[in-house]
Amino acid sequence: MTPAPCQFLPWDTDFFGVRIGRVIGNRLTPDRVRDIDAWSAAEHIACLYFLADRDDSTTTRLAENHGYRMVDLRLTLEHRLPSPPTPSDGKQKVPPYAVGRYLGWGGGDTLIRPVRPDDIPALEAIARVSYTDSRFYFDPCFPRERCDALYARWIRQSSERSGTPQTDAEMVWVADLNGLPQGYISGACHATMGSIGLVGVADSARGGGIGMALVQTALTWFADQGMSAVQVVTQGRNLGA
């Protein structure tokens, strides 16, 4: 049996209210295009995600000629983590990733700590306005209010899973100034590779080093979890990253 050329995405479909799928693989041929079109028609697909190989000119030409619209240039950034020191007893030890403080925005004493349930509304508010460079906002078929809600739900779900016994390999850290969340970072562990999910800083708190403090906290946590490297996916237009 020939494998399907695409994958149906139930979560995206339910969230955006239209049937959405993803093309499997990152290259196109004339035969693959026909198979993808046939699958999409049979599945009543309204939107297809396709992460294309930018180095393949045939893929680019076929995508342009068959109704695909470029909405993003995806960048994957990777940071290699140093190996933790090995003491004389042969057991590796890593500095703790417990809460820390730094003198930052507004001259205040900002606390970097694990997320708490009562942080979530403030984190959702930050998330709703922080990712307008993402591909969803550059696709006119997605309503802006649903794009806002997508990132609010993302940080809510990450926060609710953070540090629970079932998901101890996932954490959300919050930058707290005088009891008010001013930013956050989410991270998860996969085998030996860590991944940063979302980073957000309130508009009023940008430029004071909060983002860097959050990233450094996350990197220390990843090292403590035994990760050898950390990746984050962002957009080509996100110059701040």
pLDDT in tens, 152-164: 999 999 999 998 7
| Mean residue pLDDT across the chain | 88
Query: pLDDT at residue 171 above 90?
Result: yes
Helix 144-161, helix 120-127: angle, nearest 10: 140
- Residue 104 pLDDT: 52
* Mean pLDDT across 45-73: 95
**Final residue in a domain of this structure, among 30, 49, 70:** 70
What is residue 208's predicted lDDT score, i.e. its pLDDT?
84
pLDDT (tens digit, 9 = 90+) per residue, 206-236? 888 899 999 999 999 999 899 999 999 988 7
Q: Does residue 142 lie in a domain region?
A: yes
Is residue 59 situated within a structural domain?
yes
Domain closes at, from 22, 44, 70 = 70
Tokens for 64, please give them.
């342009």
Provide the 10 A C-beta neighbour count for residue 221: 22
Alpha carbon distance 2, 17 (integer Å): 29
pLDDT over 80 at 238, yes or no? no
Split into its structural domains, the chain has a count of 2
Q: Could you list the residue range(s) of the whole structural domain that residue 18 is in?
A: 6-70
For residue 8, what pLDDT is reported? 98
Q: Is the pLDDT of residue 33 over 60?
A: yes
Neighbours of 147 (CB within 10 A): 20
The reply to whether 240 falls in a domain is no
SS3 of the chain: helix, strand, coil, percent, to 5? 35, 25, 40
Provide the 3-class DSSP secondary structure of residue 160. helix
Shared domain check, 84 and 97: yes
Co-location of 43 and 89 in the same domain? no
Residue at which a domain ends, from 70, 92, 119? 70
pTM value? 0.85
Beta strands in the chain (DSSP E): 6-8, 20-23, 47-49, 74-80, 100-103, 109-114, 170-177, 180-190, 193-201, 229-235
In the predicted structure, residue 200 carries a pLDDT above the cut 50? yes
Going by pLDDT thresholds of 50, 70 and 90, the confidence category of residue 193 is very high
> Over the stretch 63-115, which tens digit does the pLDDT of each residue have?
999 999 999 999 899 999 987 655 455 444 444 444 455 545 455 678 899 99
Please name the amino acid found at residue 109.
Answer: D
Mean per-residue pLDDT, 19-48 = 98
Percent of the chain at pLDDT above 90? Answer: 72
Provide mean pLDDT across the span 25-52.
Answer: 97
CATH number of the domain to which 211 belongs: 3.40.630.30
**What local confidence, expressed as pLDDT, does residue 228 receive?**
95
Per-residue pLDDT at 93:
43
